[in-house]
Structure 1
Amino acid sequence: MSITQKLATSISSSSSSFLAPSNFSSRRQNVSLPTKSVSIPKCVATPQEAQTAYKTRVSRNENMAKLQAGYLFPEIARRRSAHLLKYPDAKVISLGIGDTTEPIPEVITSAMAKRAHALSTIEGYSGYGAEQGEKPVRSAIASTFYSDLGIEIDDIFVSDGAKCDISRLQMLFGSNVKMAVQDPSYPAYVDSSVIMGQTGPYLKDVEKYGNIEYMRCNPENGFFPDLSTISRPDIVFFCSPNNPTGAAATREQLTQLVQYAKDNGSVIVYDSAYAIYISGDNPRSIFEIPGAKEVAIETSSFSKYAGFTGVRLGWTVVPKRLLFSGGFPVAKDFNRIVCTTFNGASNISQAGGLACLSPEGLQAMQEVVGFYKENTNIIVGTFESLGFKVYGGKNAPYVWVHFPGRSSWDVFSEILEKTHVVTTPGSGFGPGGEGFIRVSAFGHRENILEACRRFKELYR
């Protein structure tokens, strides 16, 4: 081992020891002090000095102050931690944050392990890769998900996840745009828009930000907005299957959306992170719709496909035919954003992504997805047996349960307090989510069954 390697190993070992959980006891020790009097100089601060912290001359980003409370999922985690302090012996079951729970299939992890081990050899070592992703991975994504849709390798940008790409896309479009978003929808769309300075202040009376078009999606309209009532936005964020409602848009609905974008000169950012859960004829990609390549970007992820929530790998498709108003290709600017802010997805993660798209990997992913869909059937059946109106579950790993006339945070608190089960309050996804809770199907089977048993005890 070289001196450099030994030094790196020593630093890593020291850092690990420093960061590792400690059993250190803060109990006061009996220490024998010398009896000789020692003169200790006193450092006395004036009251003003004691109370005033040093401040820089850098102003806070005023847009950060617009954000309301904490980001939804850390807030749920905070309340879960507080609940555990109150009930330290409770077996808390988390069906709130949409994090996968089942092991990644071995056909995928073995490919990552092989790539990781190769990095320890001269022949297998690789440093920085292409910011856009390795060509074999991009090629596999194109042939697996976009066969016969006119999407080429150069249209695909591999990333560290769809959520990260959402922020990069917001950076791409800048602050002088107006955004439309489904209501309810994944909160990252709105929060990143606020941070970018695209919005006005938060309007407490209607629980919305100014300069955002909230497209109400509810059971009455089949969870697809009435586009005729929407004023012209520049960017339309649309997620199908939707998080949190679980609704998957039909081919007819997406055709309407593409035509709406063309009529208004808007750009659709289409989030297909749950497309693998779709059964039936609902489109899995916006590019199945004629004309979509002229008005749409699609972002997706391996997180919920293969359990890559911690591995981090996703992709975004920006077709060459998508142009700004002046005729400049959107893909060229996105490529510049990616090259400026990103050094490319982990080569180990990309090895896993390539294995996901092999015949064996695709079959393994479908089996895991099938397991989660069985979980949704159990949850849906439980709430329906209790007389609740239930949506979602069929094409997504989320179940959207209606509690009419009730505050969704109150329902969240009631369920947590009385059953020790964590859900997600619907209002955290926008004002249209009030009166609903989202129950995630990501969980071990025994936890799903136990949670449903507790739901029945509470609501029967």
Structure 2
Amino acid sequence: MAATYNLSSAALSSSSSAFFSHSTFSVKNPTVSLPGKRVGVCMCVATSQDSKTAHKTAVSRNENMAKLQAGYLFPEIARRRNAHLLKFPDAKVISLGIGDTTEPIPDVITSAMAQRSHALSTLEGYSGYGAEQGEKPLRSLIGKTFYSDLDIEEDDIFVSDGAKCDITRLQLVFGSNVSMAVQDPSYPAYVDSSVILGQTGQYQKDVEKYGNIEYMRCTPENGFFPDLSKVPRTDIIFFCSPNNPTGSSASREQLTQLVQFAKKNGSIIVYDSAYAMYISDDNPRSIFEIPGAKEVAIETSSFSKYAGFTGVRLGWTVVPKELLFSDGFPVAKDFNRIVCTCFNGASNISQAGGLACLSPEGLEAMHGVIGFYKENTSIIMDTFNSLGFNVYGGKNAPYVWVHFPGRSSWDVFAEILEKTHVVTTPGSGFGPAGEGFIRVSAFGHRENVLEACRRFKQLYK
């Protein structure tokens, strides 16, 4: 059976951002800007092999891979979006689903990358492998910019190709014999990487959870912060603030509770601060602002949502020297070994961009881009508030968390896609506590966000 899709070659990427950014479809209303150009036809052909004749190796499949449920959330959304385009080939689809940036990278940053790129064509400017931990000037500048007065040293910082990649590298450090806790709802990579490493039991369909993972319920009722008195001890605690998908940001008091909880239980916190620059109040931007955090926490972050580096790929992880395993061995030494074994260091061109990001001009430009997305967030929040919905997030994050009580998240996703041609994200894809919500991303061109909001008002007025 063959299915024909009019997609750009980028759509063949496993990343759903390729599907969202470059699918080709007709546009009748020129006020909606949709990038991409028409290319050839891609034939996706499903084939089957006769089990009696097909050659099989003697290698068993990783049993943990078989535990994973369906596809990863965002490629599944991309699949449904493309099916929608087959049904409505002339639809002007607007994507506010995946958290992929849309606005151009500021020139002060791309100029630095271009200069570094051109230098590679000269004897004087060429460089090959760099330090696996990242170039010293960038590590130093990350420390001065984000961890000033927090006693984070240059060699506590590991530069990488993104926070998502570092999450998996950290899982390799922890191994399969640890217990895990995650916020519910939370970014799917935490759970899926735990499943792949063998840290979990089977998926339990009746409760929509994996065995041996502690799901820390975060809802409007508890201010999107778990009741730690009801959370059993686990070895590792994944925590994201500002949170993806709810957009909530933990207060200083809440993070103090979390650090004290981890210290009492002998746990390690993996703190994802990928949206910290979106915080506009006095909530902490780093877990290391909390006394004692260096003894119990790792922090991972990224330039993706600050500078539009979702495709450039550059992030960092902080592993303080004070963080020790139960036998007294430093966690940072094991992470360094994993990095040196699995990674040859971030692209030198990307790191040049990182240095430019953290220059005075680069920081000003990044704040400008972040401000643009925060304005988009306000537009989306105002729209759903005017329609009478309970709306959360938005203030400190580029995500709006909208409640549709009593309804299936996937049903709401399908309704919005079918009737408005707008892609959102079903809340249940982030965990069972996300059921009844949808996440709307503020990453979009302004004209697209305004048009999407006009369509939301038309549907739900």
Q: Tell me which residue corresponds to 2:69.
A: 68
Q: How does 1:254-333 map to 2 (within 5 A)?
A: 254-333=255-334
- Does residue 449 (structure 1) correspond to residue 450 (structure 2)? The answer is yes
**1:52 Cα deviation from its structure 2 partner:** 2.4
- SS of the aligned residue for 1:62 comes to coil
Q: Tell me which residue corresponds to 2:203.
A: 202
| Distance in structure 2 (CA, Å) of the matches to 1:127 and 1:176 | 37
Q: Tell me which residue corresponds to 1:43.
A: none
| Distance in structure 1 (CA, Å) of the matches to 2:259 and 2:96 | 34
| Distance in structure 1 (CA, Å) of the matches to 2:60 and 2:112 | 47
**1:50 Cα deviation from its structure 2 partner:** 8.5
Q: Tell me which residue corresponds to 1:9.
A: none
- SS of the aligned residue for 1:223 comes to coil
Q: Deviations over 1:105-148 (max 9, x none)?
A: 00000000000000000000000000000000000000000000
- SS of the aligned residue for 1:309 comes to coil
- Does residue 458 (structure 1) correspond to residue 459 (structure 2)? The answer is yes
Q: Deviations over 1:76-128 (max 9, x none)?
A: 01111111111110000000000000000000000000000000000000000
| Distance in structure 2 (CA, Å) of the matches to 1:451 and 1:274 | 24
Read off the aligned partner of 2:77 and give its amino acid letter.
I
| Distance in structure 2 (CA, Å) of the matches to 1:171 and 1:427 | 27
- SS of the aligned residue for 1:181 comes to strand
- SS of the aligned residue for 1:298 comes to strand
Q: How does 1:65-104 map to 2 (within 5 A)?
A: 65-104=66-105
Q: Deviations over 1:316-344 (max 9, x none)?
A: 00000000000000000000000000000
Quickly say closer, same or farther: Cα 1:25–1:275, change in 2 above 3 A.
closer
Quickly say closer, same or farther: Cα 1:25–1:227, change in 2 above 3 A.
closer
| Distance in structure 1 (CA, Å) of the matches to 2:297 and 2:42 | 57
Q: How does 1:337-416 map to 2 (within 5 A)?
A: 337-416=338-417
Q: Tell me which residue corresponds to 1:165.
A: 166
Quickly say closer, same or farther: Cα 1:299–1:49, change in 2 above 3 A.
closer
**1:157 Cα deviation from its structure 2 partner:** 0.1
Q: Tell me which residue corresponds to 1:223.
A: 224
Quickly say closer, same or farther: Cα 1:24–1:281, change in 2 above 3 A.
closer
| Distance in structure 2 (CA, Å) of the matches to 1:325 and 1:24 | 56
- SS of the aligned residue for 2:385 comes to helix
Q: Deviations over 1:232-283 (max 9, x none)?
A: 0000000000000000000000000000000000000000000000011100
Read off the aligned partner of 1:204 and give its amino acid letter.
K
Q: Deviations over 1:335-359 (max 9, x none)?
A: 0000000000000000000000000
Give the TM-score of the pair, scaled to structure 1.
0.90
| Distance in structure 2 (CA, Å) of the matches to 1:23 and 1:388 | 43
| Distance in structure 1 (CA, Å) of the matches to 2:281 and 2:444 | 25
Read off the aligned partner of 1:458 and give its amino acid letter.
L
Quickly say closer, same or farther: Cα 1:368–1:25, change in 2 above 3 A.
closer
Read off the aligned partner of 1:168 and give its amino acid letter.
R
4+ residue segments displaced more than 2 Å = 21-26, 48-52
**1:429 Cα deviation from its structure 2 partner:** 0.1
| Distance in structure 1 (CA, Å) of the matches to 2:69 and 2:85 | 25
Q: Tell me which residue corresponds to 2:35.
A: none
| Distance in structure 1 (CA, Å) of the matches to 2:41 and 2:443 | 36
Q: Tell me which residue corresponds to 2:7.
A: none
Q: Tell me which residue corresponds to 2:30.
A: none
Q: Tell me which residue corresponds to 2:240.
A: 239
Quickly say closer, same or farther: Cα 1:356–1:24, change in 2 above 3 A.
closer
Give the TM-score of the pair, scaled to structure 2.
0.90
Q: How does 1:165-204 map to 2 (within 5 A)?
A: 165-204=166-205
Read off the aligned partner of 2:230 and give its amino acid letter.
T
Q: Tell me which residue corresponds to 1:437.
A: 438
| Distance in structure 2 (CA, Å) of the matches to 1:251 and 1:58 | 50
Quickly say closer, same or farther: Cα 1:174–1:108, change in 2 above 3 A.
same
- Does residue 55 (structure 1) correspond to residue 53 (structure 2)? The answer is no
| Distance in structure 1 (CA, Å) of the matches to 2:83 and 2:50 | 35
**1:361 Cα deviation from its structure 2 partner:** 0.2
Read off the aligned partner of 1:397 and give its amino acid letter.
P
Read off the aligned partner of 2:290 and give its amino acid letter.
I
| Distance in structure 2 (CA, Å) of the matches to 1:291 and 1:129 | 33
- SS of the aligned residue for 2:350 comes to helix
Q: Tell me which residue corresponds to 2:335.
A: 334
Structure 2, unpaired ranges of 5+ = 1-12, 14-37, 44-48
| Distance in structure 1 (CA, Å) of the matches to 2:50 and 2:428 | 44
| Distance in structure 2 (CA, Å) of the matches to 1:138 and 1:194 | 32
- SS of the aligned residue for 1:157 comes to strand
Bigger Rg, which one? 1
| Distance in structure 2 (CA, Å) of the matches to 1:51 and 1:195 | 30
Read off the aligned partner of 1:163 and give its amino acid letter.
K
Read off the aligned partner of 2:181 and give its amino acid letter.
A
**1:24 Cα deviation from its structure 2 partner:** 8.4
**1:208 Cα deviation from its structure 2 partner:** 0.3
Q: How does 1:6-25 map to 2 (within 5 A)?
A: 23=40
Read off the aligned partner of 1:379 and give its amino acid letter.
I
Q: Number of residue pairs matched?
A: 421
Q: Deviations over 1:30-55 (max 9, x none)?
A: xxxxxxxxxxxxxxxxxx97952110
Alignment RMSD: 1.6
Quickly say closer, same or farther: Cα 1:25–1:178, change in 2 above 3 A.
closer
| Distance in structure 2 (CA, Å) of the matches to 1:49 and 1:73 | 32
Quickly say closer, same or farther: Cα 1:112–1:79, change in 2 above 3 A.
same
Q: Tell me which residue corresponds to 1:424.
A: 425
